[in-house]
Amino acid sequence: MGKKKGAACAHPRKRFYRARAHSNPLSDSHFPVPVSPAHCDWTEHFPVLAAAGDGSASGQQQQQVPKVRFADVGCGFGGLLVRLSDLYPETLMIGMELRDKVTEYVKERIVALRKNNPGRYGNISVIRTNAMKFLPNYFDKGQLEKMFFLFPDPHFKEKNHRRRIISQGLLAEYAYVMAEGGILYTVTDVQELGEWMKSNLDAHPLFERINLEEQSSDPVVEFLVATSEEGQKVARNRGDTFVAVYRRVPSPP
């Protein structure tokens, strides 16, 4: 029998989309990548852009077209995106995930959420890509207001530290796509990785650490651990988490 008209859309089940906890970000993967941000068609991701046309307007009309402002790098199963969608309903945000099965899960999850909640969740989407290689292909200079790095692969072996998502070279790219005053969030359950990320961010001239008092007034911080599958696993096991939040400061004159 077919589904009744107006019946709720079933959410995808994670067990059908299981994949390795992490992927090698330095390996070659085969998926389409835009040549530049100007070639990135966001209309297929966000209904508000599809309704506005093909997203290729210019001049004053182009300025009125909203842009993606939040990026969750390595978004996993999309828990943070879903939670932030209601907190920032007017902000477009994208999850960037390298694992194909996990990306498909998030896509199906968002489809189900939109169908079951008309008018909601139209501001979140996901793309399969490698942010370590292709981030500038998607975002203009100063475009992003928030970037998230939740429980990234620790790459424990020293020879694999070059695969870590926070490094001096990559921070230069993050600084390029982030707006001045934008916020970069990191969290891990591996103390050594937490210290690594903080030491790299502290050493970069375009990022400054946000103190705990200011973090306590940021509504996003409380979601960094609770919304991700990895964070929930750590909480169940009563493990420690290490949060570090940084602001993109103005470039020197």
Has 150 been labeled as part of a binding site? yes
235 is in an annotated binding site: no
230 labelled binding-site residue = yes
Does residue 55 have a known ligand-binding role? no
Give 79-138 as a DSSP string: HHHHHHHHHSTTSEEEEEES-HHHHHHHHHHHHHHHHHSTTSSTTEEEEE--HHHHGGGT
Strands ordered across the beta sheet of 92-97? 124-128, 92-97, 68-73, 144-150, 178-188, 242-248, 207-209
Instruction: Determine if residue 195 is labeled as part of a ligand binding site.
Output: no
Nearest to 178 by CA among 104, 248, 89: 248
Locus of tokens 């500038």: 136
Confirm whether residue 239 is marked as ligand binding.
no
CB under 8 Å to 5, separation ≥6 — which residues?
none
Residues acting as catalytic residues:
153
131 is in an annotated binding site: yes
Q: Which of 23, 234, 3, 10 is nearest to 105 (CA)?
A: 10
Residue numbering of the annotated binding site for S-adenosyl-L-methionine: 74, 97-98, 130-131, 150, 228-230
